[in-house]
Structure 1
Amino acid sequence: MRSLLVVHNHPTAAERLESAASRQQLPEAVMRAAGYTVATARGEEQARQRIAEADALILDLPIPDIEAWSRSVLDWKVVPILWWCSEATATLSVEACEDGVMADGVLSASMRPTDIHWTLQFGAKQCFERQQWHLERRQLLAKIEERKWIDMAKGILCEVKNITETEAYDILRKQAMNERKRLVDVATSIVNVYNLLQEQKQGRTKR
C-alpha cells in the first residue's frame, strides 16, 4: 500500500494552508514524509477522478460527513477508508462522537511512520472483513427473498392441486429441472401468473 488519496471538504483545511507550520500538519504532508505517494481532492468530482490510483482513502472531514462520503466512495472502488483526526476535524465532530462511523481506522499528525504503516495495514484488513460481511449479508437477504417466493408458490400449488407442501416442492423442483431454470424463477412465474389470474377474476366479478 503506497498510494493514498486525501479528501478535504471543509473550510478549516484551507485555513490551515495559511502558515508553514499548519501545512506540515496536513495529512498529505505527514503521509508524504512517511514515504507515501499522495494525491488530494477537494470535492466529489475530483475524488471520483483520482480514486482509481489510490490504495487507501483518507478523509480529512468532520465525522458527520464520513458516512455519505464512504457510501459514495464504495460505489467507485473498494478501498480502506481512514479518518484524519486533527484539532479541526475533532472539534467539528464532538456532537457526533456516539455515531457509528464507516471508517477502517484513524490517523493523525502525531503518529510515527511505523504507526501509520500498521494503521494502514490493519485498516486494509478491516476493509476486507467489512466487505465480506456486506457480501454475506446480501447473499443472506437474497436467500430469504428466494425462500419467500418458493413458499408462496408452494402455497398456491397446495391450494390449487390440493396436495402437500412436499409434493408441491417436488413439482417445483421437477419443473425447474425440465425448463433448466432456477427454482426461484419457476416459483416467481407461478406466483405472478396466479396473481394475474386472481386480478382478472376479481375484475370479471366486479362487472
Structure 2
Amino acid sequence: MNFLLIIRDQTSPIGEKASPPSASAPFCEPERILKAYGYDVLASSVERDFRRKIREADAVVLQMPIPGIRVWANLTAKLKAVPLMWWCSEMTAVSSLASSKNEGEGEDDIPVDGILTPSMSANELHWALHLGAKHFLERRQWMEERTQLISRLEERKWIDHAKGILCEINRISEAEAYEVLRKRAMNERKRIVDISALIVKAHQQLKT
C-alpha cells in the first residue's frame, strides 16, 4: 500500500502551517507525516478532483469529523474499492464529539476500516494500514454475502408467491406447483425466479 489519497472535508482547515509528526502538534498535516514515512500522497477536498485522483489510490485517508465521513465513503464506494482510514487528530476528534452530541450522530457504524493518528510512528502507521486493508477485505466480503443473501430472499418471495398462485388456480400441491415452475423454466431456458415473477405480475394485472 504505497499511494494514499487524503480527503479533507471542505469545512476543515486547509493549508495550516506544517508541523512535525508529534502528538503535541494539534494540526499535523497528514501529507507531511505520511510522505516523511515513505508514502506517495495525494490530497483533495473537491469531488471533481477526488474522482480523478482516486484512480491512483491504494487507500483513502479521511481527514474530517465523523459526520462528513459517510458522504465521502459512499462516493468512494461508487468509484473504487479501497480501504478507508480515518485521520483522528485532536481537531477531528473534538469536532466529531461536538457533532455527535448536537446531531445525535451514531459512532458505532462509521464506515471506516481503521484509524491513523498524528502521533503514530512509521511502524505503527504501517501496521495500522496493513490491518485496515485486512479489515476492508473482510468488510467487502461481508457486504457481498449480505447482498447475495438479500437477493436469494427476494427470489424466494417471487417463487413462493408464484407457487401460491398456481396452487390456488390449478388446485395442486406446493410440490406440484414448483414442478410446474421448474419445467417451464427449463422449456423457456430461464431461471425459475424469472418465470415466477412473470406469473405473479400477470396475475396482478388480471386482478386490477
8 Å contact from structure 1 (residues 24, 30) kept in 2: no
**What is the rounded CA distance, in whole Å, between the counterparts of 2:138 and 2:160 in structure 1?**
33
The reply on whether 1:121 has 2:124 as its aligned counterpart is: no
What is the RMSD of the two structures over their aligned residues, measured on CA atoms? 1.8
Aligned to 1:202: none
Aligned to 1:147: 156
The reply on whether 1:41 has 2:50 as its aligned counterpart is: no
Q: Deviations along 1:1-58, whole A, 9 cap, x unmatched?
A: 10000011244432623x6566982011100001000000022221111001000000
Aligned to 2:69: 66
TM-score, normalised on structure 2? 0.90
Which protein shows a greater Rg?
A: 1
SS in 1 for 2:4: strand
Given candidates 168, 190, 196, the residue that maps to 1:187 is 196
Which amino acid in 2 is paired with 1:79? V
**What is the rounded CA distance, in whole Å, between the counterparts of 1:113 and 1:46 in structure 2?**
28
SS in 2 for 1:92: helix
TM-score, normalised on structure 1? 0.90
**What is the rounded CA distance, in whole Å, between the counterparts of 1:140 and 1:178 in structure 2?**
27
**What is the rounded CA distance, in whole Å, between the counterparts of 1:152 and 1:98 in structure 2?**
38
Q: Which has the higher helix share?
A: 1
8 Å contact from structure 1 (residues 16, 23) kept in 2: no
Residue identity over aligned pairs, in percent, reads: 43
Aligned to 1:2: 2
The reply on whether 1:87 has 2:90 as its aligned counterpart is: yes
Q: Deviations along 1:106-154, whole A, 9 cap, x unmatched?
A: 1011100010011101101111111111111111111010000001100
Given candidates 103, 108, 124, the residue that maps to 2:117 is 108
Q: 1:23 to 1:15 in 2, by over 3 A?
A: farther
SS in 2 for 1:39: strand
Consecutive unaligned residues of structure 2, counting only runs of 5 or more, are none
Q: 1:157 to 1:114 in 2, by over 3 A?
A: same
Aligned to 1:157: 166
**What is the rounded CA distance, in whole Å, between the counterparts of 1:131 and 1:66 in structure 2?**
18
Task: Number of aligned residue pairs: give it.
Answer: 198
**What is the rounded CA distance, in whole Å, between the counterparts of 2:4 and 2:139 in structure 1?**
20
Which amino acid in 1 is paired with 2:56? E
Consecutive unaligned residues of structure 1, counting only runs of 5 or more, are 200-207
